[in-house]
A and B are shown apart, each in its own frame.
Chain A
């Protein structure tokens, strides 16, 4: 699977490259600054791009801007953003072009190698990978969630990260059948039309949380 990486920190860039290669990804380009990113994406047309939010030369949100621009030019380009800190606002901006896989993770998560690779694969496959921290920050301010039971809230949190029913079941140590029952209840209580598509399901949840 072809990957383009944008990360200014040399150690992290090499580490990411090696990690992905170990899992049979094909790292076709690894850039270290914002201006070089878009051309690299256009030339290589990767199946997933892994981009640091903060890149030279401005060291602001250069990477995020480039990602949004790239998705505007190449609709459906799967993008996984990495950052030292997570900001629900940035997640929201990324999701504003709803086609294709999107992820937004803390850099810390890379150290959980298997979960990280799973997230990359999920994004490449058109799914979503939202950092639990983003989700928990969004959950903080939602009073209407009071209608949910605590178990349903747990399920909602993991679902909003972008996990499939099987992954939710594994994480919460319940059966898949119980998960789908909970999800049906959640979607009914929050007045959202049920949907089979994982990505659309997450988008609906995030839209609700962010409303």
Chain B
């Protein structure tokens, strides 16, 4: 298909989708009114013992579900709306005062309520226009000629109201086409206006946004500190129980060989051979340890090289498409590498995949990495620690992970890390200069 036709098709699909969205918006608008009424009643009944404290949080939960739906709808067409609510306080029981106070003191509650009525009106109005204009265009394109053909002279369409003659009827076709095109063209814009209005009241205020950010940073900082501490403990344990113990025994063996060398050279030789084997094992352990802390190839070749090297060492063939014009900052590079490594390890262990792929791109200040496989799917971040570990690693840098893994596959893990890219590494010239 030619480029122009693909673009036309996309444009039409976008238009049709907006019409469907408009239709849904009109329907959803009607749910706002009973919710508003219920909220008013619930708040009015708040002083009533027992019932009052339970009713308001309960209706507000419904309102929040409705608002969340609207946030999702807006986010889907590219207007990102974050959830603004305070997190629930600990020990807040249903029907308790704490829970009631949590709901009522949250400014987002009142902004939700304030949105219900105007939101419904705007949604309905804009939805109506989104649906009716293309529908009218479609009528001109198909129905008007049909009616003329049937011999009815009463139907009016477009600028020339009544259709008296056959040629006037035929004019409906281009008019209908133009109106349909206009309808499909304005549809996405109207959906966007609707979403922007929702964001006006449903998005966090600046203060709420900052509060959310602080909460999130507190959590990720605690996670990062925990993870770092655990990592240090692991390294300490590996050194202490592995290499250090080996070196101690090595010293003992060499010492023993030293004392034996004069009167039992054969035994001393045996001990020395043993010592050499033991030092070899210590080196192997150290090498594994170093690889776990920071793989040498990552230091030497950066993310692209390290991922390529990693892919080579896996039993499943992996296509690597990593093309970065420069190096990342060391901590980010390390986080990105270990996130990919974790995803690939998961894949090899659990997915039964035959092939996989890794790609990474950097644009507009974000590194986007994708790890996919053709395996069995059904990966669940809640089930394993691996995917959680990836989330934690990325969260330390404000990064995110999204997972799509329907049963039967394929699994796609998308990871995003906001980061800067340093200028391309200049390989120092080894020539005579």
Residues of A within 8 A of B (CB): 34-35, 37-39, 53-54, 57-62, 65-66, 69, 84-85, 87-89, 108, 111, 137-138, 140-141, 143, 210
Q: Is B40 on the interface with A (CB-CB < 8 A)?
A: no
Chain A residues contacting B312 (CB-CB under 8 Å) are 88-89, 137-138, 141, 210
Majority-rule SS of A interface residues: helix
Complex formed: what's the CA distance from A108 to B431 in Å? Answer: 30
Q: Is the pair B313, A37 in contact by a Cβ cutoff of 8 Å?
A: no
Which residue of the partner chain, among B299, B314, B317, B432, contacts A39 with CB atoms under 8 Å? Answer: B432
Complex formed: what's the CA distance from A111 to B283 in Å? Answer: 12
Given contacts A34-B428, A60-B301, A137-B313, contact A84 B276 (CB under 8 A): no
Q: Is the pair B301, A141 in contact by a Cβ cutoff of 8 Å?
A: no
Q: Is the pair B305, A62 in contact by a Cβ cutoff of 8 Å?
A: no
Q: Is the pair A37, B430 in contact by a Cβ cutoff of 8 Å?
A: yes
Complex formed: what's the CA distance from A69 to B431 in Å? Answer: 9
Which residue of the partner chain, among A85, A88, A141, contacts B317 with CB atoms under 8 Å? Answer: A141
Chain A residues contacting B431 (CB-CB under 8 Å) are 38, 69
Closest to B302 in A: A60
Question: How many residues of chain B are within 8 Å of chain A by beta carbon?
Answer: 29
Chain B residues contacting A88 (CB-CB under 8 Å) are 309, 312-313
Complex formed: what's the CA distance from A92 to B340 in Å? Answer: 23
Chain B residues contacting A141 (CB-CB under 8 Å) are 312-317
Complex formed: what's the CA distance from A38 to B431 in Å? Answer: 6
Complex formed: what's the CA distance from A108 to B288 in Å? Answer: 14
Complex formed: what's the CA distance from A80 to B308 in Å? Answer: 23
Chain B residues contacting A111 (CB-CB under 8 Å) are 276, 279-280
Chain B residues contacting A140 (CB-CB under 8 Å) are 313-315
Closest to A107 in B: B283
Chain B residues contacting A35 (CB-CB under 8 Å) are 428-430, 433
Q: Is B290 on the interface with A (CB-CB < 8 A)?
A: yes
Q: Is the pair B309, A62 in contact by a Cβ cutoff of 8 Å?
A: no
Q: Is B291 on the interface with A (CB-CB < 8 A)?
A: yes
Q: Is B287 on the interface with A (CB-CB < 8 A)?
A: yes
Which residue of the partner chain, among A38, A85, A210, contacts B290 with CB atoms under 8 Å? Answer: A85
Which residue of the partner chain, among B279, B291, B308, B433, contacts A85 with CB atoms under 8 Å? Answer: B291
Q: Is B296 on the interface with A (CB-CB < 8 A)?
A: yes
Chain A residues contacting B241 (CB-CB under 8 Å) are none
- Which residue, of A38, A85, A143, has the highest number of chain B Cβ atoms within 10 A? A85
Complex formed: what's the CA distance from A69 to B432 in Å? Answer: 12
Q: Is the pair A60, B291 in contact by a Cβ cutoff of 8 Å?
A: no
Which residue of the partner chain, among B299, B309, B315, B433, contacts A60 with CB atoms under 8 Å? Answer: B299
Q: Can you list 8 pairs linking A and B with CB atoms under 8 Å apart?
A: A35-B433, A58-B428, A60-B301, A62-B428, A66-B430, A88-B312, A108-B283, A141-B317
Q: Is B90 on the interface with A (CB-CB < 8 A)?
A: no
Chain B residues contacting A65 (CB-CB under 8 Å) are 427, 430
Complex formed: what's the CA distance from A137 to B312 in Å? Answer: 8
Q: Is the pair B309, A84 in contact by a Cβ cutoff of 8 Å?
A: no
Residues 142-153 of B, flagged 1 when their CB comes within 8 A of A and 0 if not, give 000000000000
Chain B residues contacting A34 (CB-CB under 8 Å) are 428, 430
Complex formed: what's the CA distance from A65 to B280 in Å? Answer: 28
Residues 269-299 of B, flagged 1 when their CB comes within 8 A of A and 0 if not, give 0000000100110011001001100001101
Complex formed: what's the CA distance from A35 to B432 in Å? Answer: 7
Complex formed: what's the CA distance from A46 to B296 in Å? Answer: 29
Complex formed: what's the CA distance from A140 to B314 in Å? Answer: 7
Complex formed: what's the CA distance from A7 to B430 in Å? Answer: 15
Chain B residues contacting A210 (CB-CB under 8 Å) are 312
Q: A87-B309, A137-B313 are in contact. List 16 more A-B contacts (CB 8 A).
A: A35-B430, A38-B431, A59-B299, A65-B430, A85-B290, A85-B296, A87-B297, A88-B309, A88-B313, A89-B308, A108-B283, A138-B312, A140-B315, A141-B314, A141-B315, A141-B316
Complex formed: what's the CA distance from A59 to B427 in Å? Answer: 11
Q: Is B364 on the interface with A (CB-CB < 8 A)?
A: no
